[in-house]
Amino acid sequence: MVAIIQDVSEMQRAAESLRTAGKRIGIVPTMGYLHEGHLSLIRTAKHHADVVVTTIFVNPKQFGPAEDYERYPRDLSNDSLLASSAGTDYIFAPESKSMYPNEYLTDVHIERYSSILEGRSRPGHFQGVATVVTKLLNITKPHVAVFGQKDAQQAVVIRQMLRDLNYDIELVIAPTVREADGLALSSRNSYLSTEERKQAPVLFQSLNLAEQRVREGVRVSVRIINEMSEFITNRSAGVIDYISIADSNTLEELSAIEGQRSVLISLAVRFGATRLIDNQIVKV
């Protein structure tokens, strides 16, 4: 059975005894309201570790003031069942005030990556992510951490942070899990109306269209971006926040796809108040 820990020191003690017993610890950080995407990360972690800790924490620091922190869906009891069925041994689900007590003053900031793409639309987001991930790593003491390709920029930010701060932790990025119609699973999909849900696969479809154009030899990014944009606006009520074609390692936006081995095509689209993101890596 899964052990649910809410207390920071208790989690640290549990992690320390696991380490002393020679166990390899894997962490899967999440904000809960778990779906099959999260569960695939837990299964992946199980392959890379003896003991899996799934963290469930809706981190206030990574939400902007006008964002959905308050209404973000939460269901710890169902999450525990799902996480346990996928092989989680420990759930760490702290309360906000134990992670950020009144006297809390420290933030982790990653230059450059924090202010582009998602960071441009969501100021402070990656600082919040880097800060909470740092804390979760210090609390759960993992040997391996598993994140999803669904949040492509987050994966790049975490990789940079682990390297810069000399974390001795293996990073595993697991592929995006999708619904049958291509929509990437997300806790935020629960916000969509029936009509919006019908239209939401345009993100994935536009990524496929972009991939096809790259394969056909189109190299001018703006041509591909314009076509994706038209595709989305013609087929849905989605409002495009951004569409980007960037180097997948440096996230540098590319006006032309030349000499890159791997490009990251990513986008954010709003359906009413719901903001969806998706991405695809295309090997050139």
| Residue numbers annotated as active site | 38
Q: Can you tell me the distance from the alpha carbon of 34 to that of 125, in angstroms, rounded to the nearest whole number?
A: 21
Contacts made by residues 168-173, CB under 8 angstroms, sequence distance 24+: 168/143, 169/137, 169/142, 169/143, 169/144, 169/145, 170/48, 170/143, 170/144, 170/145, 171/144, 171/145, 171/147, 172/44, 172/45, 172/48, 172/144, 172/145, 172/146, 172/147, 173/146, 173/147, 173/148, 173/149
Query: Does 203 participate in binding ligand AMP (rule CB under 6 A)?
Result: no
Minimum Å gap between C-beta 155 and ligand AMP is: 7
| Stretch of 34-42, 67-75, 90-98, 254-262 lying at the interface with ligand AMP (CB under 6 A) | 34-42
Query: Does 30 participate in binding ligand AMP (rule CB under 6 A)?
Result: yes
The count of residues interacting with ligand AMP (CB under 6 A) is 17
Query: Does 39 participate in binding ligand AMP (rule CB under 6 A)?
Result: no
Selected binder of ligand AMP within 25, 39, 41, 82 (CB under 6 A):
41
For 21, phi then psi, to 5°, come to: -80, 5
Q: Can you tell me the distance from the alpha carbon of 51 to that of 69, in angstroms, rounded to the nearest whole number?
A: 30
Minimum Å gap between C-beta 194 and ligand AMP is: 20
> Binding string to ligand AMP for residues 163 to 202, with x set by CB under 6 A, is what?
-----------x-xx------xxxx---------------
Minimum Å gap between C-beta 187 and ligand AMP is: 6
Selected binder of ligand AMP within 5, 38, 42, 126 (CB under 6 A):
38
Query: Does 31 participate in binding ligand AMP (rule CB under 6 A)?
Result: yes
Q: Can you tell me the distance from the alpha carbon of 156 to that of 224, in angstroms, rounded to the nearest whole number?
A: 23
Q: Which tokens go with 249? A: 């390692």
Query: Does 282 participate in binding ligand AMP (rule CB under 6 A)?
Result: no
> Binding string to ligand AMP for residues 126 to 155, with x set by CB under 6 A, is what?
---------------------xx-xx----
Beta strands 3-5; 90-92: pairing state: parallel
Q: Can you tell me the distance from the alpha carbon of 273 to that of 281, in angstroms, rounded to the nearest whole number?
A: 27
Minimum Å gap between C-beta 258 and ligand AMP is: 29
Q: What is the DSSP letter of 274?
A: E
Selected binder of ligand AMP within 37, 87, 94, 119 (CB under 6 A):
37
8 Å CB contact between 144 and 48 = yes
Amino acid at 279: N
Which spans of this chain sit near ligand AMP (rule: CB under 6 A)?
Answer: 30-31, 37-38, 40-41, 147-148, 150-151, 174, 176-177, 184-187
